[in-house]
Structure 1
């Protein structure tokens, strides 16, 4: 090794040529190693030299240049709304478990409570991604970005005709929660929805409230209570709706997400309501916090890790040119009953 190449000036970009000189190999050899094409073409000793030089020099691959030469980069882009929602941590973990070190995952995040727009991810598409994973989009967005790269849709019911789609079996999940709440004796339900307006949230509400009403339950006014997926916003939405809900005998509030349920619990405490004696609260997601919140939250688990794994598996198949029919893979949810739901006191 030549130590003079280690002592490059701070801020100077390390090039493949510098790595090659440092390792005592050709630039072509460096390219084979960094692009994971060295098997059977570069000796193990030279692979080790190149990797050691990369580590010492802090070399970073120019992925834009690489994508120009190959036609696509080694990036897979996950497009999702409001990545601050802890639910996405499970989705990302599932994706990365499948991708391992074969591809880099790039996150493209829209503003909280908003559906993605094609112009917002234009810069990301310039990296020529190998695939797009799109969470809870609307169809117009999917049609706008189609053709830039193979795509897999996650939690996008109704769009199975557009691309491979990984969905949640919301009907079975709604049935489980309906049975639990009706058996406890609840008949009047408030619903706190997300402002996103994506089809997955719409179907989640329709499935559950349809089940409850068909079983003798009712949804009093106001029926259009919404908030962004954030604790304080959900708390305020609940406090605004509660006087009318209280007057009409609501004994249970159901939330589109666990985060919003935490906000409802906060608001109920501010009003001096006991949970679950005065008000039961249930929701969807089953985040890890929900088992240790106070009270622990009754929630329908939406299998985030499984969704991520399945989406990444389909994406790899598309990238590798395998025949992948437009599929609709469904994962069922599971109900976790905890302290936040109980028999109504009135």
Structure 2
């Protein structure tokens, strides 16, 4: 019906409604097809299409928080890589919850071409009848990860050079394995450099408000313990530390240095600009998408370990 209304072939309609018309269908014809789709109220039944083909033209990305700027960068990397071949479907878990095996099984029923899972919960078996690629999941056999060691060692070396010998750590409440690895590597590097990590602990959800609330409860104890620098497990957590320091009149970096992980775009414009271990989200999404495409094409995917480095800014006196 759509083809008849638009005056074109069924194959052309298929290209347009599945978003594969770029370079294949002229703009006027594509416009006629879209107008016909709207007039007729046509909706593509992806589940039926998948059953007919045995596999779908969808790629599903499951992430714990699509509103987080980091995941926006991951999405951009995935979309730019799979966009011409597959349609990207985004799924966000319940706020504060990491993706689990049940999330994969839920989308497996749609018979997508593949599933990408960002920062999955630790200890979950993320397997399915379609290819599954994990992102930022240290220890995962089918995962694309960061090599955190260079960035962490650069951070600790920088803090040592700035004269810091006792530091605090603001951790995330996330179940994702990557947060445990970040803290473990940081503590090991500090021990090797002669920097003590305060036993005054704090954890928060990965939001500025939650981080600020957690910081308010421990910042006085950190100061009494001789802490001169605070490292946060994510930039959004570090923003909370900066907010509280500003409210209390604590000079950053004069009386307290602050650093984070991620190097989000907004970290260059905080007051002061935030020192951060760069974890390029777009590169992570791109590498995961390439790994998925290689698997779908029957090519042995290369192991992907993305480099990290420290971006020094004013919050640590750089």
Normalising to structure 1: TM-score of the pair?
A: 0.83
In 2: Cα distance, 1:287 partner to 1:106 partner: 23
Structure 1 residue aligned with 2:188? 210
Q: What SS does the aligned partner of 1:340 have?
A: helix
Aligned pair count reads: 312
Q: Structure 1's 310 and 185: CA in aligned 2 closer, same or farther, altered over 3 A?
A: same
Larger CA Rg, structure 1 vs 2: 1
Normalising to structure 2: TM-score of the pair?
A: 0.90
The 5-angstrom pairing of residues 6-85 of structure 1 reads 18-25=1-8, 27=10, 30-31=13-14, 51-57=30-36, 58=38, 59-85=42-68
Moved more, 250-259 or 113-122: 113-122
Matched, 1:221 2:199: yes
Matched-pair contact (CA < 8 Å) for 1:221–1:245: no
Structure 2 residue aligned with 1:336? 311
Q: Structure 1's 114 and 48: CA in aligned 2 closer, same or farther, altered over 3 A?
A: closer
Q: What SS does the aligned partner of 2:197 have?
A: coil
Moved more, 86-95 or 48-57: 48-57
Structure 1 residue aligned with 2:272? 295
Structure 2 residue aligned with 1:119? 102
Please, which of 299, 305, 313 is the counterpart of residue 290 of structure 2? 313
Structure 2 residue aligned with 1:269? 246
Q: What SS does the aligned partner of 1:200 have?
A: helix
Structure 1 residue aligned with 2:263? 286
Q: What SS does the aligned partner of 1:147 have?
A: coil
Deviation at 1:111, TM superposition (A): 2.5
Q: Structure 1's 82 and 213: CA in aligned 2 closer, same or farther, altered over 3 A?
A: same
Please, which of 159, 162, 168 is the counterpart of residue 181 of structure 1? 159
Residue segments in structure 1 that go unaligned for 5+ positions in a row? 1-17, 39-43
Deviation at 1:198, TM superposition (A): 1.4
Structure 2 residue aligned with 1:106? 89
CA RMSD in angstroms comes to: 2.3
In 2: Cα distance, 1:276 partner to 1:29 partner: 61
Structure 1 residue aligned with 2:149? 171
